[in-house]
């Protein structure tokens, strides 16, 4: 028995990263790359749905799922944001060497996840019709689109639980465990997609059910992992309780982060509305290209989350010099790894688009989207890293406000003023890089302003400690 316990403790230590000492680039890479692969696998859920429907059902069924992507992203990004709040709170407590408080935050976060998931599922079911109507989904697509979305929404509480579980595990530097859980769930999703489509002829409803069941598998694996954990993150079902002391900081940090992500999604909903007006080929091309380009964003976002978690722990330990280093090393590493992926996509763009549709018009428009959206995301790196670092400090609302102004403001203005003068697919795509450049510039100014604010806070803290000595 003692030998088993020792082995568990060794495995526990191996899964952790020491974020407070030593070099950063290797630890950031070890943290971010599994997280990026996790994001890729999450997107594989949607990719598998789109690909199976496109190959074995119809272009209309494929377009139905593609139309739902911006709506689903609204809910998912809110989960991710709120779960990031839990990540920051727990990571700061771990950095401050307060394991008892970290455990209490964990046992607050999980029931919060279920409450939020149920609430959003109910809101989603009520608003499904109006949301699809707002997107002006064509008559031949709206039926299967609504069917897929309503089934998908049933699984939101489980999806919320998974995101919170993963965020909790990542707070101590372990990104491999959520990755392994998602890998298993992705395999389950693909198998069930094929079974429900080819064996039971379930069509859109079949792939939606497969996705929900795969999410159940994923959340279940992480639940078992937390139950078996022998460290600070051990889950005791009897201790699950929503404690107000932790709800406030989780919401204060996580909600603006979620809203920032939702801003991106809302702007994408507006863009999807414009794309739908260009016909089924444009919708299918956009859906296919999105499933490719989102993998690039996974790289960018993974280093943004790495910046948040590493900054949180070092801020909790009051290591401000290391916090500043995290920003610059995350930017450099992000540019390097994103560049590698962009090169691969550029070389194989047409074959990858052909995997979703053989229509030459769809492939041509898909390449157009990849050019303007995928190959120009380097500016987006600054947005994610700076926002991530500021969230790690607990300074989450201002970046969200600037994202609202820069991303949503620019894209809405573009679609309502510039696009009507030249209503083409290319014109729509141009608004993406323009909005990133504007937002990045705003966030750079905010970051250097906050550094001055942080120095004054540090000075006051030193004076207080000296007075207490």
* Residue 164: partners with Cβ closer than 8 Å, 6 or more residues away: 79, 82, 83, 86, 109, 110, 112, 113
Tokens for 123, please give them: 């809101």
Q: Is residue 2 part of a domain?
A: no
Tell me which residue of 117, 116, 107 sits closest to 229, measured CA to CA. Answer: 107
Round to whole Å and give the CA distance between 93 and 101.
7
Structure confidence by residue, pLDDT tens digits, 398-425: 888 888 888 888 988 999 899 999 989 9
Q: Is residue 194 part of a domain?
A: yes
Q: Is residue 8 part of a domain?
A: no
Tell me which residue of 215, 165, 163, 166 sits closest to 189, measured CA to CA. Answer: 215
What is the predicted pLDDT for the residue at 37?
83
Residues, the chain, total?
Answer: 469
Q: Is 217 helix (H, G, I), strand (E, B) or coil?
A: helix
Q: Is residue 5 part of a domain?
A: no
Determine the average pLDDT of the residues in 198-213.
81
420: which DSSP letter? G
Structure confidence by residue, pLDDT tens digits, 268-325: 777 877 888 888 888 888 888 887 888 888 899 889 988 988 998 888 777 888 888 9
* Residue 301: partners with Cβ closer than 8 Å, 6 or more residues away: 36, 39, 384
Angle between helices 25-56 and 320-356 (to 10 degrees): 20
What is the predicted pLDDT for the residue at 340?
92
Q: Is residue 13 part of a domain?
A: no
Higher pLDDT, 221 or 262: 221
Tokens for 101, please give them: 């408080």
Q: Quote the strand ranges of 61-207, DSSP E.
A: none
The model's confidence at residue 458, banded by pLDDT at 50, 70 and 90, is low
Q: Is residue 304 part of a domain?
A: yes
* Residue 232: partners with Cβ closer than 8 Å, 6 or more residues away: 94, 99, 102, 103, 172
Structural domain boundaries, residue 142: 21-468
Q: Is residue 14 part of a domain?
A: no
What is the predicted pLDDT for the residue at 15?
54
Q: Is residue 7 part of a domain?
A: no
What is the predicted pLDDT for the residue at 330?
94
* 66, 283 Cβ separation under 8 angstroms: yes
Number of domains observed in the structure of the chain: 1
pTM equals 0.75
The model's confidence at residue 194, banded by pLDDT at 50, 70 and 90, is confident
Share of the chain above pLDDT 70, in %: 88
Q: What single string gives the DSSP state of each residue in 174-208?
A: --HHHHHHHHHHHHHHHHHHHIIIIIS--HHHHHH
What is the predicted pLDDT for the residue at 381?
93
What's the mean pLDDT when you consider all of the chain? 83
């Amino acid at each position: 028995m003692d030998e088993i316990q020792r082995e568990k403790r060794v495995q526990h230590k191996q899964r952790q990263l020491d974020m407070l000492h030593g070099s950063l680039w290797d630890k950031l890479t070890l943290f971010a790359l599994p997280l990026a692969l996790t994001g890729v696998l999450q997107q594989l859920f949607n990719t598998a749905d789109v690909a199976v429907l496109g190959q074995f059902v119809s272009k209309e069924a494929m377009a139905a799922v593609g139309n739902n992507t911006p709506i689903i992203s609204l809910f998912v990004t809110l989960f991710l944001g709120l779960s990031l709040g839990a990540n920051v709170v727990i990571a700061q407590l771990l950095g401050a060497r307060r394991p008892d408080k970290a455990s209490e935050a964990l046992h607050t976060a999980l029931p919060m996840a279920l409450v939020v998931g149920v609430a959003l599922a109910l809101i989603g079911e009520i608003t499904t019709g109006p949301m699809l109507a707002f997107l002006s989904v064509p008559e031949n697509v709206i039926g299967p689109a609504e069917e897929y979305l309503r089934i998908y929404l049933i699984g939101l509480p489980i999806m919320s639980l998974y995101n919170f579980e993963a965020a909790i595990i990542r707070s101590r530097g372990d990104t491999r465990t959520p990755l392994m859980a998602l890998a298993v769930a992705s395999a389950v999703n693909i198998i069930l997609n094929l079974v429900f489509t080819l064996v039971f002829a379930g069509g859109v409803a079949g792939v939606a059910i497969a996705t929900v069941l795969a999410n159940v598998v994923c959340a279940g694996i992480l639940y078992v992992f937390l139950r078996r954990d022998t460290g600070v993150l051990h889950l005791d079902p009897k201790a699950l309780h929503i404690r107000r002391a932790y709800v406030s900081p989780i919401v204060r940090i996580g909600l603006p982060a979620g809203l920032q992500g939702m801003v991106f999604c809302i702007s994408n909903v507006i863009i999807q509305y414009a794309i739908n007006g260009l016909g089924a080929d444009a919708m299918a091309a956009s859906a296919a290209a999105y499933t490719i380009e989102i993998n690039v964003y996974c790289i960018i976002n993974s280093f943004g989350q790495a910046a948040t978690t590493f900054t949180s722990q070092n801020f909790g330990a009051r290591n401000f010099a290391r916090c500043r280093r995290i920003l610059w090393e995350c930017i450099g590493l992000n540019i390097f790894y994103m560049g590698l992926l962009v090169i691969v996509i550029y070389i194989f763009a047409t074959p990858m688009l052909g995997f979703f549709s053989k229509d030459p018009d769809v492939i041509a428009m898909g390449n157009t989207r990849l050019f303007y959206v995928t190959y120009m995301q380097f500016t987006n790196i600054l947005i994610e890293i700076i926002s991530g670092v500021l969230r790690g400090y607990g300074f989450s609302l201002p970046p969200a406000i600037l994202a609202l102004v820069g991303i949503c403001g620019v894209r809405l203005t573009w679609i309502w003023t510039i696009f009507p003068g030249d209503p083409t697919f290319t014109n729509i795509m141009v608004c993406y890089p323009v909005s990133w450049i504007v937002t990045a510039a705003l966030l750079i100014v905010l970051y250097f302003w906050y550094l001055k604010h942080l120095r004054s806070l540090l000075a006051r803290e030193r004076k207080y400690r000296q007075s207490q000595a």
